[in-house]
Amino acid sequence: MTERDLARAEDTSILARLARAAARMRADLPLAGLDLLLLSIGYLSVLAFRFDGAVPESYWTGFLLVFLPTALLTHLSANTALGLYGKVWRHASVDEARRVVLAGGASTGLLSVGFLLLAPNGRIVPASVVILGGALALLLTGVLRFQARLLSSHRRQADKAGSRVLVVGAGSAGSAVVRDMLTDPASTFTPVAILDDDPRKAHRDVAGVPVVGDVDDLPEAAALFAVDLVLLAMPSAQGETIREIAAAADAEGLPVKTVPRLSELASGDVGLRDVRDLEIADLLGREQIPIDLAAVREALRDRRVLVTGAGGSIGREIARQVAESQPAALVLVDHDETHLHDAAALIDGEATQALADIRDRSAVEDLFLRHRPEVVFHAAAHKHVPLLESHPWEAVQTNVRGSEHVLDAAARHDVERLVFISTDKAVEPSSVMGATKRLGEHLLRMYAPQDAAWCAVRFGNVLGSRGSVIPTFMRQIAEGGPVTVTDPRMERFFMSIEEAVRLVLQAGALAEDREVFMLDMGEPVRIADLAERMIRLSGRRVGEDIEIVYTGLRPGEKLAEVLANPNEIAHATGHPAIVSLSAGRIDLAVAERLADLYQAAEARNEDAIREMLFGLLPKGSAAADSHTTARP
């Protein structure tokens, strides 16, 4: 492009900017004209009021010829400088309100200096006209700009046909959601009342919506205000509180929505866009358990970390949380290419995908040779109890033989820290799955180098994991039922995947010498109660819309899980939600008998597998001589 072309382009750019500026000025002329009119009315009103309508001639002359032109020019200049033109005032926020106040205050201050200090004794206009007129001018120009916002909430409450909402929580989240409901044109919600347990907020209001009582008043408030929906706007609410509110709403036949928990929010801001249906995880939620992030990050930062079973529910979350600690390298291992790819997509940063099966010893050896991991999380396992009862050879090949391959390679390649993901089903196991995980714990202690920071971590069911009861119930409810429960007395421990993995990482950081850790799983949950809650959450009625059918215990299942064997003694650790269990002596003879177990698995000799598997368990793990494992 020549210099002439550049000059023409620059001229064109300047002309375009001038044209846009002129267009903005034309668009702003009506607002500026209204400002001039309101400013004149404001100052004139104060002058007339000052003299009871009989303004002396000398003040009329000074007001009309000197003060008013100066005041109008000052206000328009301040408004322009502070950006009060060119705005879409329907969506104005606190920042725009601040600008209006600053413009009015600056204008009044300048006029006060000019007409009260430089021209004292009110020789041009009285002091009251300058000060009170400025205040009135600020009020009028503010109302002009914010009239859409000031009137919209009242118009929406009067005109909009939508769900009448009872909001629980008058804190920052509740206030933000209420205001969004009132001002968002797309909202189909109308807040009619608020409940909050803080007595200081009683009989007050949020954006015109009254706080009418506390949570105990939900039934009365729902009836009084003809409520259609209850919205829980308390991100910090825990499971017990949520269950109470949900139960009260359910008793009134009202659906419940909620805002995300604090752990789900990327920032502290909550709005109408965040409102979602209440989920079973909310009802089962527990008190937030803090972890020592510094210790976890110290154990992982700048280390080469390898995660087996990275495509599974637990392994995927381990990989995601490990990535947050900035490891030197993160290697994700799984034999399922789709799950492996999906897990890698969740990682914020770089991660190496390794498609390999831990049942292949040479593949595992190659992994450790190429990646030289310093920290290993071994999450790869088969875990579906009834399915493994009918395929015990698969359980042995993956949960025992595959684990031995990983542990052997880790020992020979000097892995500093290793975490073996176990289960509460390994405690006094009655199933093949539980027995293989219990044997895996024993193998970890056998292979761990002396004083190595290796450990096994036991925990119960995690919400939403593949193969867990909750996705099964969701599918059955979506299909119209029935929902199948094995036994009305069955209980299980539950925790969220995020919480379980946070504690797994914390346990890994606490490990010193081949410990077996047990996570605090809280109180057990009756599976029948869980099914009923999920049916009600879906908006259906138990026994009327969807039936619950009891099918009886399946092979290998217990009515309730326990947290420790009778011969295991719990010891406190540096974390209140993690206990260390004394695991007894290491039986080195187990290694000599593994070959026979693997041979039985290769031959798919079910009877031999069961006999040898339970016979290899450490004493106290199960009645090895007379175990009563259910048969298919």
CA triple 303-574-439, angle to 5 deg:
70
Is 195 in the same domain as 298? no
Q: Which residues contact 140 (CB under 8 A, 6 or more apart)?
A: 38, 39, 41, 42
d(CA 201, CA 168): 12
Instruction: Give the domain range for residue 209.
Output: 160-278
Is 338 in the same domain as 438? yes
375 DSSP 8-state letter:
E
Is 507 in the same domain as 379? yes
Q: What is the pLDDT of residues 418-429, one digit of tens each?
A: 999 999 888 888
What pLDDT was estimated at residue 50? 77
Please report whether residue 155 resides in a domain.
no
What pLDDT was estimated at residue 143? 73
Is 264 in the same domain as 345? no
Please report whether residue 478 resides in a domain.
no
Please report whether residue 133 resides in a domain.
yes
Is 46 in the same domain as 74? yes
Report the helix count and the strand count for the chain, using DSSP H and E. 22, 22
299-303, 513-517, 559-563, 618-622: the lowest-pLDDT one: 618-622
542 DSSP 8-state letter:
B
| 337 against 545, higher pLDDT | 337
What pLDDT was estimated at residue 396? 96
Q: What is the pLDDT of residues 21-32, one digit of tens each?
A: 455 555 567 777
The three-state (H, E, C) secondary structure of 562-608, written as one string: CCCCCCCCEEECCCCCEEEECCCCCCCHHHHHHHHHHHHHHCCCHHH
Is 498 in the same domain as 586? yes
Per the prediction, the chain carries an average pLDDT of 80
| 327 against 6, higher pLDDT | 327
What pLDDT was estimated at residue 11? 47
Helix H or strand E encompassing 377: strand 375-378
Task: Using alpha carbons, select from 413, 318, 312 the residue that is nearest to residue 367.
Answer: 413
What phi and psi, each to the nearest 5 degrees, are found at residue 499?
-65, -45
Q: Is the model's pLDDT at 625 over the cut of 60?
A: no
Is 310 in the same domain as 452? yes
Type of residue numbered 118: L
Q: What is the pLDDT of residues 260-315, one digit of tens each?
A: 765 554 445 666 677 777 777 777 666 566 778 888 988 999 999 999 999 998 99
| 451 against 578, higher pLDDT | 578
d(CA 3, CA 324): 53
Q: pLDDT-based confidence at 353, cuts 50/70/90?
A: very high
Where is the domain boundary, 230, 253, 278?
A: 278
Task: Using alpha carbons, select from 401, 443, 357, 432 the residue that is nearest to residue 602.
Answer: 401
d(CA 404, CA 407): 5
Helix axes 68-81, 3-50, angle to 10 degrees: 130
**Percent of the chain scored above 90 by pLDDT?**
26
88-97, 418-427, 486-495, 585-594: the lowest-pLDDT one: 88-97
Please report whether residue 449 resides in a domain.
yes
Q: pLDDT-based confidence at 622, cuts 50/70/90?
A: very low
Is residue 567 within 8 A of residue 584, CB to CB? The reply is yes
Q: What is the pLDDT of residues 110-139, one digit of tens each?
A: 887 777 776 655 567 777 777 887 788 778
Structure tokens at 506: 């914390």
Q: What is the mean predicted confidence (pLDDT) over 187-200?
A: 85
Please report whether residue 287 resides in a domain.
no
Please report whether residue 377 resides in a domain.
yes
Count of structural domains within the chain: 3
Please report whether residue 554 resides in a domain.
no
Q: What is the mean predicted confidence (pLDDT) over 330-345?
A: 94
What pLDDT was estimated at residue 263? 53
Helix H or strand E encompassing 205: strand 205-206
Q: Is the model's pLDDT at 6 over the cut of 80?
A: no
Please report whether residue 473 resides in a domain.
no
Is 309 in the same domain as 265? no
Q: Is the model's pLDDT at 406 over the cut of 90?
A: yes
What pLDDT was estimated at residue 288? 60
Where is the domain boundary, 278, 304, 326?
A: 278
CA distances from 501 to 226, 304, 492, 587 (A): 43, 19, 18, 30
Where is the domain boundary, 278, 306, 326?
A: 278
Q: What is the pLDDT of residues 72-98, one digit of tens each?
A: 888 888 877 877 765 545 545 566 667
> What are 454's strand-pairing partners?
418
State the CATH number of the domain containing residue 229: 3.40.50.720
Task: Using alpha carbons, select from 150, 199, 186, 152 the residue that is nearest to residue 275.
Answer: 186
What pLDDT was estimated at residue 196? 87
Contacts by residues 7-13 (CB-CB < 8 Å, ≥ 24 positions apart): none
**Percent of the chain scored above 70 by pLDDT?**
83
Structure tokens at 174: 């509740």
Is residue 532 within 8 A of residue 472, CB to CB? The reply is no
Is 61 in the same domain as 182? no
Is 164 in the same domain as 141? no
Is 304 in the same domain as 241? no
Is 65 in the same domain as 185? no
Q: Is the model's pLDDT at 14 over the cut of 70?
A: no
What pLDDT was estimated at residue 277? 77
Q: pLDDT-based confidence at 245, cuts 50/70/90?
A: confident
